[in-house]
Chains A and B, each alone.
Chain A
Amino acid sequence: MSGQFLHNLLLFGRVLRRLGLDVNPGRMIDLVSALDHIEIVKKPDFFYAARTLLVHEHDDLPLFDEAFELFWRKPAEGWDVEWQGLTSRKRRPGPIVTHPPLKEAAPEADKASSSSNEMLSVIEVTRTYSDRELLRHKNFAEMSLEEAEAVKQLMSHFLWKVSERRTRRKRPGKGHLIDMRRTLRRSLHSGGEVFSWAYREQKSKPRPLVVIADISGSMERYTRLLLHFIYGMKSALSQPMEAFVFSTRLTRITRPLQIRDLDLALENVGKLVNDWAGGTRIGESLKTFNFEWGRRVLGRGAVVLIISDGWDRGDADLLKREMARLKRNCHRLIWLNPLLGAPDYEPLTRGIQAALPHIDDFLPVHNLASLEDLATRLSSLDRRSNGGGSPVLGAKWPKHEGHPPAQAGGS
């Protein structure tokens, strides 16, 4: 193997890493030793060998293919320019492109002083108990910039917990299953006579959570805070949590949310999604979810949270069908609606009407208090999923703030 070739190979590895592929030196060494076994002059063989060693996610395959084609056509100088055209992690073109509402039109002060100002006002807002109480019940949509910041602060201290399900894994404990191994071992002390039985119990684990949030135009006032809320939830939960957003189409944002730095994470989400504040097609988006993701993320008794106001411009029949499918495939389907906090709100839109029969819990999500109630609800889900029917429609709930419908999903 010539020195130049090796040089290019390592360069290629670096390029892949910069594109976001999980390529490490160990893999590159593997590739070099693999090349002893194949004829490098046969381009397809080299291509497949590199691919099988350097890629281990199906989603990364197209990116690798394109990078390979581009790099090995002209690996010499000057590839850097062409490279700019290849974006890391490809996006499909979306219909409406606007700027992500992640950053407010911030006051034009220089960054350092503005952030310290912000901090000051945060402290200002959260200082006293009564202020905090006021904040807890204030609608997200009516908050000032300072109040929103304060709420984000409070949100980051939330302790999220989703109730557990019994897995099929067993461990020694107080269950009803006999642990033969330990029983026998114990009996040896008494010459093979069994005096006490050892037992095994089923291990419990928190249920996986899937959040599907609406970021369409009508939800714009809530989007920023809800993304913070989703991020906070993801970092607080120990079990896997999947997150998706949609307006006209569905985007998975699980990966960018894994970044530890909140601002960077939200910035990456902003780059990934290109239909911010667009129209709403809940049905279409749920269909995409069911067809492409359902089988992959809904296993193991997942709890699904949909966050949307239910203003749907799409096909109501489609929404109905996909809601039914989603309901069949998850343990519990919870719909969070920011409008439900308004005193005079009635769920009359076509979208909500189509979805309601399939929802287990229909809850508000318009202020901090409602999030706290959600946290309580999530940690105390009963073992069995709601049997269906339309438990929510008949339920009457008190129409003042801070008191969401008590157990809307009758059990």
Chain B
Amino acid sequence: MNFTSIDALQSAMHERRYIAERGLATSLYLALKLGRPLFLEGEAGVGKTEVAKVLAALLDTELIRLQCYEGLDVHHAVYEWNYTRQMMHIRLLEARGDHASEAELFGPEFLLRRPLLQAIEDSRQKPPVLLIDELDRSDEEFEAFLLEVLSDFQITIPEIGTIKTSTPPVVVITSNRTREVHDALKRRCLYYWIDYPSFDKELEIVHARLPDAPEKLARQITGFIQALREMDLYKLPGVAETLDWTTALVALDQRALDPVIVDETLGAVLKFQDDIDKVKGEQARLILERVKAEAG
């Protein structure tokens, strides 16, 4: 699908049940038009990864995901040789009284394609969406390598040669800021910070994602979460927590919030014992009263 305007992209995302702010839609639109990677930052659980998934669905193309972790190297990000197969091949040839040549052994059929290579190979009709998730978890060495790949979308495998694509993938990079990602990489990308949504936006998200949730419950949950984000907590709940909590309460057949059920299910929202202790009981009741008063 080719989008002609920011509005078109925004409403198409809406149809796929992703409620995007105008700013995010603008960044995404420009990333597609300019062929630049999009760098998304924001607190955990605000829907960074989801952007890539929705985008792949919209473009009707494959989503290739590279989850980053410390020590991630070329063998796990780009390619690796299939040693077991190579060994077997050698043995089979030996049994036949033959022996393997190097060129044969390091051919494409023994190559294991990891996400970055998959994204660059010209084997499909449409360019895929490449999601590089939680880049901050990888180390500087990988970042430097990535910078190189993203600048000219080509990868060199010594045994085979250079692989280059004419249709570069749409790249989405996410980071939770557990480490500062180097400026050089960020400069190559379009940058967008996904904030916690406003009450109205968040309610819209709950409705879009969980149409089964009763209206009253959805409003109360959203109000409650918004109030928690005003508090001095170690870890604020994200949209993911709002959705988890709503799912949990719908599963429990709740039609509205009450102090007991809030205390019992607070673990779906707050993930640190200090925070739970702070909110549970008195504080939760106060928030609940306020939320109910506001909802009228």
Contacts and interface: CB of A to CB of B under 8 A. Distances in A.
A52 B178 contact: no
Contact of B73 (A49, A169, A291, A321): A169
Is chain A's interface secondary structure helix, strand, loop, or mixed overall? helix
A7 interface: no
B27 interface: yes
Nearest to B81: A181
A45 interface: yes
Given A184-B87, A192-B94, A296-B180, A52 B71 contact: no
Contacts of B36: 30
B100 A192 contact: yes
B199 interface: no
A52 B190 contact: yes
Interface string B49-93: 000000000000000000001110101000001010011001100
B27 A52 contact: yes
B183 interface: yes
B154 interface: no
B71 A37 contact: no
Contact of A184 (B39, B86, B91, B191): B86
B34 A169 contact: no
Contact of B39 (A45, A56, A297): A56
Contacts, number: 106
A56 B183 contact: yes
Contacts of A168: 69-71
B177 interface: yes
A184 B88 CA distance: 12
A53 B190 contact: yes
Nearest to A44: B22
B30 A38 contact: yes
Given A56-B39, A184-B83, A37 B183 contact: no
Nearest to B183: A22
Given A167-B139, A188-B105, A296-B178, A48 B22 contact: yes
Nearest to A30: B34
B99 A192 contact: yes
Interface string A272-294: 00000000000000000011000
Chain B: number of interface residues, binned into ranges: 35 or more
A389 interface: no
B247 interface: no
A61 interface: yes
Interface string A188-229: 100110000000000000000000000000000000000000
A167 B141 CA distance: 12
B30 A291 contact: no
A191 B23 CA distance: 61
Contacts of A169: 70-71, 73, 139, 141
Nearest to A52: B27
Contact of B178 (A30, A290, A295): A295
Q: Which of the listed residues A52, A170, A181, A191 has the most CB atoms from chain B within 10 Å of its own CB?
A: A52
Interface string B145-187: 0000000000000000000000000000000011110010011
Contacts of A387: none
Contact of B91 (A167, A181, A192, A290): A192
Contacts of B91: 192
A37 B139 contact: no
5 contacts: A48-B26, A52-B27, A61-B193, A325-B234, A325-B274
Query: Shortest 8 CB-CB distances between A and B: which pairs?
Result: A168-B71, A192-B90, A48-B26, A56-B186, A52-B27, A56-B191, A48-B23, A37-B33
Interface of A: 22, 24, 27, 30, 33-34, 37-38, 44-45, 48-49, 51-53, 55-58, 61, 167-170, 180-181, 184, 188, 191-192, 240, 290-291, 295-297, 299-300, 321, 325
